[in-house]
Chains A and B, each alone.
Chain A
Amino acid sequence: DGGITQSPKYLFRKEGQNVTLSCEQNLNHDAMYWYRQDPGQGLRLIYYSQIVNDFQKGDIAEGYSVSREKKESFPLTVTSAQKNPTAFYLCASSIDLADWVEQYFGPGTRLTVT
């Protein structure tokens, strides 16, 4: 079955530690995205990537970093510089970056930093 996997489902970290969230897709999609979801707020775009070895900042990139070394994988690192990292993180992918395409979402990772 094709889809997007995110692991782990729940992640707990101490303040001051970097943490990397995994996102893998086997849909052969070129474009991948990271969103952050907070209660009562819509999804906000952190980073997106159109193609391997290329990525762009979204609306709230500060305190986050990404890499795109393989088409299938787009890991997100939440650094200690991110002031409020506790949130639900969603990864998505689409065939390309066109405006009409459907974005397919993974099941999400809930990160709690204490």
Chain B
Amino acid sequence: AQTVTQSQPEMSVQEAETVTLSCTYDTSESDYYLFWYKQPPSRQMILVIRQEAYKQQNATENRFSVNFQKAAKSFSLKISDSQLGDAAMYFCAYRSAFRGSTLGRLYFGRGTQLTVWP
């Protein structure tokens, strides 16, 4: 089974600064999707960004960007110009692109709690 590892249980950043959250994954598949979800104190799971493994270009969504290193199986999230509202638990997730018994399911890491200081 695929595993997703987030080695940083907690991170903190000063407002307006940049922070990078790490994620590694283990898979034997060549085609897949990777996601970062944000879970604020409200507990709602909110999609932050998505990356297709077949795309070499790193995904970007406003202040959020990823560094996708397929060979290293690494998928980090960079948050630029951090804001107080970015404070949340961030989850990295993997999804296979192939049909099969695990069709559609997401595999999640354990999360990184991000604190933003004013």
A binds B: no
